[in-house]
């Protein structure tokens, strides 16, 4: 059962973190490289520390798993805690450091390996997306209504080619089954913009838990569908990156799965 969480307070907390630690440093902060090659800034660290401390003060029994923690500590938390916060304090850091106005903060409450609550805040556009399991999805308090996507050949979507396998990426380029694609470089916003109906599908080859924990719940509660590319369910109870096939509605997901079933990587994946 979902604990008594003040969802409005949490949403305001994300806004506060953005106003204090992120927006004032947009395109002015230096960046360093992490061992995995991605970049990190002082805004990432300060945002995570602020949110961790504020959440701990109000909900002391719920630990926090953050992107800017060691892998060992993340794994320990997932193994030991039945309930925890899952935080990406600044997704789209490369955009942020380069002055590209596409980045966001994501926070989910996980219980029993499932996302129960989720928030994503877009500091540039001041849009707050939120969802509670079984209670719908919202943007700035307004419900995100379920939408019907067009046929696949007419669809526009987000495709992260870099993380797809080479054979699948080449096939998508040479035998493109959709109309057009984009890539914004901020996974947490890409989930929410899909949920809001700004495009129709989302393909990603290897996404981290904190990149999807809130966004996938928001999409699901808005009437969308998301699995791994092979059709397996997404998981919120372990750390390995997962591929993403997310669509605005379930019928488009079935169309994508039929197309992927003819790809050598996924010949036996269930529809």
Burial class (CB in 10 A: 0-12, 13-18, 19+), 100: middle
Would the annotation count 91 as a binding residue?
yes
Would the annotation count 211 as a binding residue?
yes
Would the annotation count 140 as a binding residue?
no
**How far apart are alpha carbons 120 and 136 in whole angstroms?**
14
**How far apart are alpha carbons 244 and 229 in whole angstroms?**
6
Q: What are the structure tokens assigned to 123, written together? A: 């500091």
Would the annotation count 67 as a binding residue?
yes
Would the annotation count 77 as a binding residue?
no
* DSSP assignment string, the chain: ------HHHHHHHHHHHIIIIIGGGTTTS-EEE-TTS-EEEHHHHHHHHHHHHHHHHH-TTS-EEETTS-HHHHHHHHHH-SEEEEEEEEE-HHHHHHT-S--EEEEEEEETTEEEEEEEEETTTTEEEEEETTS-EEETTEE--------GGG-EEEE-GGGS-HHHHHHHHHT--SSEEE--S-HHHHHHHHHTTSSSEEEEEEE-HHHHHHHHHHHHHTT-EEE-TTSPPP-SSS-S-EEEEEESSHHHHHHHHHHHHTSTTSTT---
Annotated binding site: 67, 88, 90-91, 211
Annotated binding site for Mg(2+): 67, 88, 90-91, 211
């Amino acid at each position: 059962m979902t604990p008594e969480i003040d969802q409005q307070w949490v949403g305001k907390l994300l806004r506060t973190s953005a106003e204090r630690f992120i927006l004032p440093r947009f395109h002015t902060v230096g960046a360093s490289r992490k061992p995995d090659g991605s970049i990190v800034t002082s805004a990432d660290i300060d945002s995570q520390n602020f949110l961790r401390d504020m959440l701990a003060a109000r909900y002391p029994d719920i630990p926090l798993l953050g992107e800017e923690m060691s892998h060992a500590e993340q794994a320990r938390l997932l193994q030991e805690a039945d309930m925890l916060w899952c935080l990406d304090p600044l997704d789209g850091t490369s955009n942020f450091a380069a002055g590209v106005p596409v980045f966001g903060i994501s926070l989910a409450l996980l219980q029993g390996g499932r996302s129960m609550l989720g928030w994503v805040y877009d500091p540039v556009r001041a849009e707050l997306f939120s969802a509670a399991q079984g209670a719908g999805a919202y943007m700035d308090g307004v419900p995100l209504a379920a939408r019907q996507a067009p046929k696949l050949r007419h669809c526009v979507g987000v495709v992260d080619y870099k993380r797809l396998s080479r054979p699948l990426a080449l096939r998508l380029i040479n035998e493109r089954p959709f109309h057009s694609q984009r890539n914004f470089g901020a996974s947490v916003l890409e989930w929410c913009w899909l949920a809001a109906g700004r495009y129709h599908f989302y393909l990603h080859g290897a996404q981290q838990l904190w990149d999807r924990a809130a966004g996938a719940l928001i999409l699901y509660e808005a009437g969308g569908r998301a699995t791994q590319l092979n059709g397996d369910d997404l998981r919120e109870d372990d750390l390995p990156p997962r591929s993403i096939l997310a669509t605005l509605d379930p019928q488009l997901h079935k169309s994508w799965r039929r197309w992927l079933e003819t790809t050598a990587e996924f010949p036996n994946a269930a529809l």
